[in-house]
Amino acid sequence: MATAEGERVLEAWATALTAHDTEGFLALFTEDCVYEAVPFGAVSHGKAALHAWVEHTFTSTPDFTVTVTTRFAVGNGAVMEWVMSGTHSGDYPGIPATGKRYAAIRGATVVELQGGKIHRSSHYWDAATLMKQVGLLPT
C-alpha cells in the first residue's frame, strides 16, 4: 500500500469519528477487523462488534472529537498520534458517567492495513489524565 493511501485512511478515521459518522467509520475496516481500546482492555472482533463500540462512544460522549496531530504509513502499517475531547455523559466500561468535560487527552493508534482498509487497530491513550479531568482520580 502506498504511504499516501495509508495516511488517507488515518485522516478518514479521525474525520468519521469527529463527525459521528458510524457508517463512514465502519467503511474503513475489513469485515474481520480487530479493534482494541487498550486502556479499557476492550477488544471488538468484526464489524458488528465495532459498530456497537462506536455507537456506545457516540452515546456516552455526544460531543466527542479527535484531531490527528501526526501520522505516517509504511508498507501495511500506519501510526497516528491524536488528541481527543468530549463530555463524559454516559458510562464507559467500568466507569460511571460524571457529566464532566475532558480535553486534550493525548493518544496514539497503530493500525495494520489490508487491501486499503484497517484490519487491526490498537489505541493507546492517557486514561489517567482523562480520569483526573472528569473527577475520578485526584489531580
SS3 call for 86: strand
Q: Are 125 and 84 in contact (CB under 8 A)?
A: yes
Which residue type, as a one-letter code, is found at position 67?
T
Which residue type, as a one-letter code, is found at position 24?
G
Q: Residues in the chain, how many?
A: 139
pLDDT given for residue 1 in this prediction: 52
Is 138 inside any structural domain? no
Digit-coded pLDDT (tens) for 89-127: 998 877 889 999 999 999 999 999 999 999 999 999 999
At 39, which CATH number? 3.10.450.50
pLDDT given for residue 118 in this prediction: 97
Domain count of the chain?
1
Is 12 inside any structural domain? yes
Residues 74-90: b if buried by 16+ CB within 10 A, e if exposed: eeeebebebbbbbbbbb
Confidence band for 2, pLDDT divided at 50, 70 and 90: low
Distance of CA 19 to the CA centre of its chain: 13
Structural domain including 29 reads 3-133
Is 32 inside any structural domain? yes
Digit-coded pLDDT (tens) for 51-92: 999 999 999 999 999 999 999 999 999 999 999 999 999 988
Confidence band for 40, pLDDT divided at 50, 70 and 90: confident
Confidence band for 3, pLDDT divided at 50, 70 and 90: confident
Is 128 inside any structural domain? yes
Is 139 inside any structural domain? no
* CA–CA distances in Å: residue 53 to residues 3, 49, 103, 135: 28, 6, 21, 24
